[in-house]
Structure 1
Amino acid sequence: MRPAWLLLNLALMALPSWAGVVVVAHANVHKLDMPTLQRIYTGKVIEVGGVSVAPVNLQAGQPLRQKFLSDYLQQTDDAYVAYWTVRRYVGKGAPPRELSSVADVISYVQSTPGAIAYLDEADVPVSMNVVLRK
């Protein structure tokens, strides 16, 4: 019985855990609603409240990105990449910049006016501006 309990605990620890995905932004971006966020991440809105927005993503395949796309955009990672492939091909813009780590995302958002990103709520620094929580 003990080995089974140990294996179960190890398996559960290996699963990614999220406190919840929240949307964060530079201090000059104010609260967002879901439709506006969706339009930002699909390239249909480039300015909010007079501020040019600069959305960023984690690299494709990262679990937090997949959770964000599922929860906020109702898309899979593959569908999102395909959407941007077509949009770029027809000259309708480029996808959001991709960063490789949560630390890079935090640094970018804090230093770039108009930056918008998503983080696991547990990783959000106290001073960071949370603009949407689902």
Structure 2
Amino acid sequence: MKKYVFFLLAGLLCSPLLQADVVIIGNPAGPDSITNNQVRDLYLNRSKELPNGQKATPFELPEGNQVRAQFHDKITGRNDAQLKAFWSKQVFTGRGQPPQEAGSEAAMKAQVASTPGGIGYIDETDVDSSVKVIFKP
């Protein structure tokens, strides 16, 4: 029994270390920086432009993704159920459509890199020269 308690405690203590460090990425031709509030406004349909005036195209990871959960926890303060309800209302009232979904972090990076005004989020360890970090929450 003590052995199981030890492993349980060890797992709980190490779990924060396994959490991703999410960063906001942008297309290399886009702005060099963005604020927390500007990112939130883009992902909650309150704004459609990047700080440089360029039309923004936000991308979203699938529900259940750990990086998505961390992003929304830090930026929008909403979980998957709250986001689903929010976007259902936006679509129903004709106010907007949810961000385009990227199937994985690699797809997110590729879509942001190839889309003018593209913005997304990935784990900091996945950043390469195809995109640039424009904000770190």
- Counterpart amino acid of 2:46? K
Counting matched residue pairs gives: 133
Q: Which residue of 1 aligns with 2:21?
A: 20
Structure 2 counterpart SS, 1:51? coil
CA–CA separation in structure 1 for the residues paired with 2:5 and 2:84: 40
Residue 51 of structure 1 aligns with which residue? Answer: 54
1:60 paired to 2:63: yes
Q: Which runs of 5+ in 1 are unaligned?
A: none
Q: Deviations over 1:34-70 (max 9, x none)?
A: 1111110011111222211100000111111111100
Q: Does 1:35 align with 2:44?
A: no
1:92 pairs with one of 70, 77, 95? 95
Secondary structure of the residue aligned to 1:109 is: helix
Q: What's the secondary structure of 2:19's corresponding residue?
A: coil
Percent of aligned positions that are identical:
28
Q: TM-score when scaled to structure 1? A: 0.86
Q: Distance in 1 between matches of 2:46 and 2:35?
A: 15
2:24–2:135 Cα contact (<8 Å) kept: yes
Q: Of the candidates 108, 112, 121, which is equivalent to residue 111 of structure 2?
A: 108
Calculate the aligned-residue CA RMSD, in Å: 2.5
Question: Residues of 2 paired with 1:108 and 1:44: CA distance?
Answer: 22
Query: Any runs of at least 4 consecutive aligned residues in structure 1 with deviations exceeding 3 A, and if so which?
Result: 3-8
List gaps (5 residues or longer) in structure 2.
Answer: none
- Between Structure 1 and Structure 2, the one with more strand by share is 1
Shift of 1:28: 2.2
